[in-house]
């Protein structure tokens, strides 16, 4: 049996593992102390600017440069992470910076005379956070847990890890932002429940529905709008203020970048005050003149209601996608600074019929959750859910002795994965589920963990059955494998407990062996896949030769089929997968007329006795 948790033993790092919320608009770094998670420094704007001398700066100074040198400044780079040029055409019109030549395969941004990829840009933000953390802790910081949106795909997650590596950080784990928010509130202590995470940030809105079961957070559905957030509220207030100023001063200041920046700051200040007081003033002094407007909470609510309503539509769609009724929601968590707005909180409570959690700072909750995860990995949190990783990939044996990996090496646990397989023999009523562990392509080179039979499958032609196999690793490292016939509902499962596990040395040896033999393994897999396909084609041809239609072929056509079969059998045991597939194609061509005859015969039999008007 295998051990699915890593025992860090005496290898606990001397430096602290930090938790980082790498946000679209702002970023934060936090750490786990004896009293709980805490933020190490202030909010760092996720903005990077290149100076005239070619030096890159990140944070508040870079944000200020948006006014003076927009063509050298990048913001919202998170939207570009792991994406290609074709993916961001709609985004480009929103940004002042330009895409550099040669971005067809890898996106490259031109900032003045400097060219950077999105991970390199994000790395500057991470370096700033790393430096702030080191100054606060008084020592080096080399390891981190970084949060990502639940909807980030593999490319976007890898780009985030690349950014960490460029910044000099060993990214121990990527944690989904809604999961981090739930961890910050300690919701992992529940046995089970449904959690809604409403995240309204500066530039984006996300809603995620999570199911917590035996310590495992599973994202049931996610929805949102990548162009909806607090910036839209700022824009509404800006338009009101600009129209007032135009009427009072008889001047349009919208083209004056300095005036606009000062007004934006005044608008944001008033917006923030309205989260706590019934009225606030937009106050601007510029070139000897002053503009003031008092804004009541009632007027403010009327102005922003269309924006808030736009967030509720994805919430309803997310509930529908998750197949969850509102009444089933147990907890609601608010994330993002814009959720301080009273109208947001009241509308969320009205929609989900549950009072949302507001105990923590919504700007900080994701970073705090990342710090909790970091504390778990560091061993500082003894009574919390252990979200560890699988040291080696886990999968099952498929036709031809091939390994189909369901949970990949270094996947965070608790984890789950589901895949649908089928049968390889006509009339098959039971299948052997062989669970294996390892990185090699062939089962014979992996470690066998368990075997069990799923019986009672409905007999069907090969390839028609649907067998759902689900892997579930709980917080204790116990792997539960369940196989279910989707047609009959017949189900069988087995627990693979972490006894008689692998040592770290054995794990490292297996990983090293898989790297050293990767090319050899891949070639062997290609051969076995070609042989499995050949088996299926030969079996189908043999069945077809027993059909009455086979006698309708000419001697020459039957001879061509026999020749193609023999030539395929000759190369079947070779190590040249391309040659095997070429002979499969040759047999396909030779049997094409036979397939047409059999098909026409089947259609004719099905339509026999049927009237035209029927």
Q: Please enumerate in sequence order all residues whose Cβ is within 8 A of that of 155, keeping only pairs 6 or more positions apart, or say none.
A: 82, 83
Which candidate in 132, 134, 188, 199 is catalytic?
199
Q: Are 422 and 469 in contact (CB under 8 A)?
A: no
Catalytic residue among 16, 78, 130, 583: 78
Active-site residue, selected from the candidate residues 21, 347, 380, 529: 21
Quick check: is 269 catalytic?
no
How are the residues of the chain apportioned to helix, strand and coil, as percentages rounded to the nearest 5? 40, 25, 30
Over 23-58, what HEC string results? Answer: CCCEEEEEEEECCEEEECCCCEECEEEECCCCCEEE
497 carries an active-site annotation:
no
- State residue 464 phi and psi, 5-degree precision: -95, -30
State how far the Cα of 20 lies from the Cα of 148, in Å rounded to an integer. 10
Whole-number Å distance between alpha carbons of 132 and 31 = 12
DSSP strands (E only) in 347-437: 388-389, 394-398, 402-407, 412-413, 415-421, 430-437
List 120, 132, 134, 177, catalytic entry? 177
* Strand bridging mode 402-407 / 394-398: antiparallel
Q: How far apart are the first and last CA of the chain?
A: 61
Determine whether 177 is an active site residue.
Answer: yes
- Give the count of beta carbons closer than 10 Å to the beta carbon of residue 508: 12
CB 520 within 8 A of CB 445: no
Residue that is written with structure tokens 């395969």 in the block? 105
Q: What angle do CA 179, 211, 202 make, to 5 degrees?
A: 40
As a whole number of angstroms, the distance between CA 339 and CA 304 comes to 13
Residue-wise DSSP of 72-133: GEEE-GGGGTT--GGGGHHHHTT-SSEEPSSTTTS--EEETTEEE-HHHHHHHHHHHHHHHH
459 CB neighbour count, 10 Å cutoff: 11
What is the dihedral angle through the alpha carbons of 177, 267, 297, 349, rounded to the nearest 10 degrees? -10
**Using CA atoms, how far apart are residues 13 and 546, in angstroms rounded to an integer?**
69
Sheet holding 56-58, edge to edge: 56-58, 47-50, 73-75
Residues 6 or more apart whose CB falls under 8 angstroms from that of 455 comprise 429, 430, 490, 492
Is 199 among the catalytic positions? yes
Q: What is the 3-state secondary structure (H, E, C) of 563-590?
A: HHHHHHHHHCCCCCHHHHHHHHHHHHHH
Which amino acids are annotated catalytic? 21, 78, 177, 199
């Amino acid at each position: 049996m295998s051990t699915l948790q890593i025992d860090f033993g005496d290898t606990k790092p001397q430096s602290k593992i930090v938790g980082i919320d790498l946000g679209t608009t702002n970023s934060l770094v936090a750490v786990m102390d004896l009293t709980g998670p805490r933020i190490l420094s202030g909010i760092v704007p996720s903005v990077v600017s290149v100076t005239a001398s070619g030096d890159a700066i990140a944070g508040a100074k870079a944000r200020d440069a948006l006014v003076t040198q927009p063509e050298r400044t990048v913001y919202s780079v998170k939207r570009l992470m792991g994406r290609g040029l074709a993916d961001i055409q709609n985004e480009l019109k929103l940004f002042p910076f330009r895409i550099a030549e040669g971005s067809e395969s890898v996106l490259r941004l031109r900032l003045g005379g400097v060219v950077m990829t999105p991970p390199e840009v994000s790395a500057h933000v991470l370096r700033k956070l790393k430096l702030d953390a080191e100054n606060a802790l008084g020592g080096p910081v080399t390891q981190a847990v970084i949060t990502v949106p639940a909807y980030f795909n593999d490319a976007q997650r890898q780009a985030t890890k690349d950014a960490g590596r460029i910044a000099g950080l060993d990214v121990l784990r990527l944690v989904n932002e809604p999961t981090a928010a739930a961890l910050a509130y300690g919701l992992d202590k529940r046995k089970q429940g449904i959690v809604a995470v409403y995240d309204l940030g500066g530039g984006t809105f996300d809603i995620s529905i999570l199911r917590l079961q035996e310590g495992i957070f599973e994202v049931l559905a996610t929805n949102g709008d990548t162009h909806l957030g607090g910036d839209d509220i700022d824009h509404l207030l800006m338009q009101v203020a600009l129209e007032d100023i135009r009427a009072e001063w008889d001047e349009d200041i919208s083209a004056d970048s300095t005036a606009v920046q000062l007004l934006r700051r005044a608008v944001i200040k008033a917006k923030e005050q309205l989260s706590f007081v019934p009225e606030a003033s937009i106050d601007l002094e510029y070139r000897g003149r002053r503009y003031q407007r008092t804004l009541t909470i009632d007027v403010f609510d009327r102005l922003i209601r269309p924006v808030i309503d736009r967030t509720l539509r994805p919430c309803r769609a997310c509930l529908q996608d998750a197949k969850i009724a509102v009444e089933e929601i147990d907890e609601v968590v608010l994330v993002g600074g814009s959720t301080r707005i009273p109208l947001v909180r009241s509308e969320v409570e009205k929609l989900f019929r549950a009072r949302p959690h507001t105990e923590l700072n919504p700007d900080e909750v994701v970073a705090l959750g990342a710090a909790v995860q970091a504390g778990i990995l560091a061993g500082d949190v003894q009574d919390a859910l252990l979200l560890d990783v699988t040291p080696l990939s886990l999968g099952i044996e498929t036709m031809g002795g091939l390994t189909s990996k369901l949970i990949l090496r270094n996947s965070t646990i608790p984890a789950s994965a589901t895949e649908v397989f089928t049968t390889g023999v006509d009339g098959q009523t039971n299948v052997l589920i062989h669970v294996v562990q390892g990185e090699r392509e062939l089962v014979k080179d992996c470690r066998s963990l368990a075997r069990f039979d799923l019986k009672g499958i409905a007999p069907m032609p090969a390839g028609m059955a649907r067998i759902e196999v689900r892997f579930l690793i709980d917080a204790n490292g116990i792997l539960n494998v369940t196989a279910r016939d989707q047609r009959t509902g017949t189900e069988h499962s087995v627990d693979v407990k972490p006894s008689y596990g692998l040592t770290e040395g054995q794990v490292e040896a297996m990983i090293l062996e898989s790297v050293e033999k990767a090319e050899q393994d891949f070639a062997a897999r290609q051969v076995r896949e070609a042989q499995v396909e050949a088996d299926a084609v030969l079996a189908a041809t043999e069945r077809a030769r027993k059909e009455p239609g086979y006698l309708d072929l000419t001697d020459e056509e039957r001879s061509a089929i026999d020749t193609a079969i023999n030539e395929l059998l000759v190369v079947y045991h070779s190590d040249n997968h391309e040659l095997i597939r070429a002979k499969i194609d040759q047999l396909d061509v030779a049997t094409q007329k036979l397939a047409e005859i059999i098909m026409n015969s089947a259609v004719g039999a099905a339509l026999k006795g049927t009237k035209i008007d029927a």
